[in-house]
Structure 1
Amino acid sequence: MIKLLNIYSTSFWKLIQKLFKSKGEGLLLVGKMMMVILLVVGKSEGRAQEVEALRVGDYVPKDFWNQKVKIYNQGDTSVIELSKYRGKSLLIDFWASWCGYCVQGFPKLVEIQEGYRNHLNILLVNSSYTKDTFNKIHTMRNAILRENDLTTAFMDDYFIQLFPHGPIPHYVWINPKGRIAGITFREFVNERMMEEFINKNLKNENIN
């Protein structure tokens, strides 16, 4: 089952401290991470007056599928309506061009998208706070977005209001009915979890 990992939990911070304790960098690193998370989430909360933040179990707003977003796909840009992704399971991946760990996960997303194309949509989301522009995305050293059909929204201010977060990559799992099934880190994004997610949706959701 896909679980929500609370980044503010005591166990999470203890884990971070344990990982870096041997280098004597634990407290300093944790302090820096907390400052970054608070800054990012604080900015998101400042915009959340217009759009209410969602949690696992919530449904996307009624006008979600009517929203228009700017996207980058293999060197081209356009504005699309989110209704394009309606009716299938949807995985949203928040990322930034300067996040190496984010980009390292893209090949796996390409594989998953190819393997489950009939039942799954994947949308990368690059929020405005990352300061990424078309040029920064298009000229990344890693050419995976230029060479593969993996679409990203960019300069986004909408998704970040619905799903405010700290560390990236940050994944949101939405079932075909528009319900938030999970919010996870990258470790959960694999074929086994994706197959379980899709099969559960096909079994339990009556898609019209």
Structure 2
Amino acid sequence: MIFFNPLTHQNLKMMKSILYNLYKAFKSKRARAIMLCLVSMFSLSAQTPRKDSGADGLSAVAPINVGDRVPEDFYTRQYKVYTNGKAITTDLKHLKGKLIILDFWASWCGMCLTQMPKGEKLSQQYADTLAMVLVNTKHRRDDLQKIKKTYSETLARIGGSALPTVYNDEYLISLFPHASIPRYVWISPRGTVLAITGHTFVNKEQIDNVIDLLRGQGNYE
């Protein structure tokens, strides 16, 4: 499975043209679904600022693109996490070897909240191969009390309260700068950024497609 790094709009246009031509050549519905998914992933990934874009964030953290590997610090650094009704500090080393989907959200984002029951269900269904991690960034101005209230009053009612969230984040938003939410970052079991997508691609069909292709590449032991 090859993910191109869309450094320029010209390259993106070329890749999309290639993928659409391949799409026409594929006869199976499954193959066509994969091709359409990749085309859309490229389109959204092109909106991610490049390393030299000067995006806001920690000065020592350079943004990374689709096709790049996350730094080791992504797994080993200590994050503030709210999970199971408790605020803890932990790393992400236990997620190595799984497909990780980072879900950037805010308490005031209605679309973010309505997607969380689906995320919770998928994380439970694919518990051995997938980790869904919510990320609430510092600049969204959600303090811990707002997050607790969202979990206890909203997510406990509609679903999604079993998902852990990183909160008060400055590091992950620096790695993956963006403006709109929800935003989903797909990271392979080996730490490669596979895609940056919107919520429509976070579903069982696409996860099945990605996991099947990752297995074919030997990403899962």
TM-score, normalized by length of structure 2? 0.73
In structure 2, C-alpha distance between the alignment counterparts of 1:6 and 1:93, rounded to whole Å: 15
In structure 1, C-alpha distance between the alignment counterparts of 2:160 and 2:205, rounded to whole Å: 26
In structure 2, C-alpha distance between the alignment counterparts of 1:173 and 1:100, rounded to whole Å: 22
1:152 to 145, 155, 165: 165
8 Å CA contact retained: 2:113, 2:155: no
Match of 1:170 in 2: 183
Match of 2:154 in 1: 142
In structure 2, C-alpha distance between the alignment counterparts of 1:190 and 1:163, rounded to whole Å: 21
8 Å CA contact retained: 1:107, 1:144: no
Match of 1:57 in 2: 67
In structure 1, C-alpha distance between the alignment counterparts of 2:155 and 2:114, rounded to whole Å: 12
8 Å CA contact retained: 1:57, 1:181: yes
Q: How does 1:14-53 map to 2 (within 5 A)?
A: 45-53=55-63
The reply to whether residue 89 of structure 1 matches residue 127 of structure 2 is no
Match of 2:207 in 1: 194
Please say which of residues 59-68 and 153-162 is displaced more in the overlay. Answer: 59-68
8 Å CA contact retained: 2:100, 2:189: yes
8 Å CA contact retained: 1:5, 1:183: no
1:160 match: secondary structure: helix
Q: 1:2-27: per-residue Cα shift (whole Å, max 9, x none)?
A: 41334877xxxxxxxxxxxxxxxxxx
Q: Which runs of 5+ in 1 are unaligned?
A: 10-37, 39-43
Q: 1:32-51: per-residue Cα shift (whole Å, max 9, x none)?
A: xxxxxx9xxxxx82325311
CA shift for structure 1 position 200: 1.3
Q: Which runs of 5+ in 2 are unaligned?
A: 1-33
Match of 1:5 in 2: 43
In structure 2, C-alpha distance between the alignment counterparts of 1:78 and 1:92, rounded to whole Å: 18
Query: Could you tell me the percent identity over the aligned residues?
Result: 33
Amino acid at match of 2:123: Q
In structure 1, C-alpha distance between the alignment counterparts of 2:103 and 2:174, rounded to whole Å: 14
- CA pair 157-57 structure 1, distance change in 2 beyond 3 A: same
CA shift for structure 1 position 133: 1.2
2:79 match: secondary structure: strand
Amino acid at match of 1:142: T
Please say which of residues 57-66 and 179-188 is displaced more in the overlay. Answer: 57-66
CA shift for structure 1 position 62: 2.6
2:97 match: secondary structure: coil
Amino acid at match of 2:100: L
Q: 1:46-69: per-residue Cα shift (whole Å, max 9, x none)?
A: 325311101111110132211110
1:120 to 97, 114, 130: 130
In structure 1, C-alpha distance between the alignment counterparts of 2:57 and 2:160, rounded to whole Å: 34
TM-score, normalized by length of structure 1? 0.77
1:137 match: secondary structure: helix
